[in-house]
Amino acid sequence: MKNKILIILTLIIIAIPANCFALEKKDNYIDFTAWYKEKTGKDVPYASSAIIEFDTLKPLYYHREELQTQSASLMKLLTVSEFVKHYPLWNKTYNLTWQDSEGDLRGFVGPKDSFVTLKLKTTERIKIKDIFASTLIASANNCANKLSKITDISKVQFLENMRSLASEWNLTKTVIDDPSGLSMKNLTTAHDMAIISCHAFSNETISEYAKKPEYKFSTRDGRQIILKHTVYDLRNNPSNYFGAKTGFLNETRYHVAAGYITPLNKKICVTVLSVDKRNDCEDVIVKMGEWVDEMYQ
C-alpha cells in the first residue's frame, strides 16, 4: 500500500508544471538596494526597476516600479509581439522609404536631433526577417515603423492591436503612441516593462533574434550588412541571456529590459529605467542575477 502511495505521489509531482514552483525568499533575504550598496559602496543607479520570475511572473524585487516614464525603444518589444501574430512571409523583400524614416518619425524629435535608423539606399530591398532583426538587435526606428505597416492590417489598427495586447497583459500604466518608441507619449513603468519582457521573450522567434550578439544579412543587390546587439554584455556573454532590448532618449537616459539567466540557471526578467551611464545599466543586471541566486531558492 505504501509503495502505491509513493508511486501516486511521484506521478502527481511529475505531472505538476515546473512553473508552479515559484522561487521563495531565503531566510537571509536582503533587499537588492541594500545588497548592492553593501557590495559596491554605491547607491542603485536607476530611477526605477523590477525583477520578475520568468516562468511564474512572480515579483522578486521592486524599486519605484509604478513610476511612469517614456518607454523609448523598449516599446519595440510590444511592436514585435504584435507583428509575429500576423505570420509574416519572412523572405518577402521591402525597401525603407523616406516616409518610413524622416516622414513618419522626424516629428517626434528635434530638427537637428539624430535617431537610429537602418541606412539603406531607396532602391535597396531586404527581407522581412532582416527588418525584424534590425528592430530588435540594432534598435532601428525606421524598421520598427516599417513592421507596423507591412502586415495584413493598417498601421492605425496595428497600434490598436498593440493597445489591446497591453490590456490583455494587464499593463495598467503603459501608453502606446508609435511603434518605434520615439514618441514622448509612449509611456511605461518598470513593472509593466518586466511583464512585457517575459511575454515577448517567451515567443521563440522574438527570443531567437533578441539574444543574437551579431546578425549578418545582405540586401537583394548583394551588399552585406552586419548588426551588433546594443547590449554589450550580451555580445560578450550571450549564454546569459534569452533576450534583451535597450532604449535611450535624451530626456530619460538609458533603459534596459532583459531576459537574464542567473549563474544558478534561474530565468528572470529584469528592467532598469533611467540610468545615466550605459555601463551601469548592464553591470547592475549582472549584479541582479547574483543577488537572485543568493536571496531566492
pLDDT in tens, the chain (297 residues): 445 444 443 443 334 444 457 999 999 999 999 999 999 999 999 999 999 999 999 999 999 999 999 999 999 999 999 999 999 999 999 999 999 999 999 999 988 888 999 999 989 999 999 999 999 999 999 999 999 999 999 999 999 999 999 999 999 999 999 999 999 999 999 999 999 999 999 999 999 999 999 999 999 999 999 999 999 999 999 999 999 999 999 999 999 999 999 999 999 999 999 999 999 999 999 999 999 999 999
Residue 58: partners with Cβ closer than 8 Å, 6 or more residues away: 22, 23, 52
At CA 52, angle to CA 135 and CA 140, rounded to 5? 10
Predicted local distance difference test score (pLDDT) of residue 289: 98
Smallest CA-to-CA distance from 177 within 80, 272, 70, 252 is with 70
Is residue 271 within 8 A of residue 49, CB to CB? The reply is yes
Dihedral of the alpha carbons of 175, 176, 178, 180, in degrees to the nearest 10: 90
What angle, rounded to 10 degrees, do the helices at 278-295 and 32-40 form?
110
Predicted local distance difference test score (pLDDT) of residue 240: 98
Residue 152: partners with Cβ closer than 8 Å, 6 or more residues away: 86
Cα distance between the two ends of the chain = 33
State how far the Cα of 245 lies from the Cα of 77, in Å rounded to an integer. Answer: 8
Q: How many residues comprise the chain?
A: 297
Residue 135: partners with Cβ closer than 8 Å, 6 or more residues away: 76, 79, 80, 143, 144, 147
Name residue, grid cell 501574430. 85
Predicted local distance difference test score (pLDDT) of residue 20: 53
Question: Among 1.20.960.40, 3.30.540.10, 3.40.710.10, 3.30.70.60, what is the CATH number of 24-295?
Answer: 3.40.710.10
Is residue 136 within 8 A of residue 76, CB to CB? The reply is yes
State how far the Cα of 262 lies from the Cα of 265, in Å rounded to an integer. Answer: 5
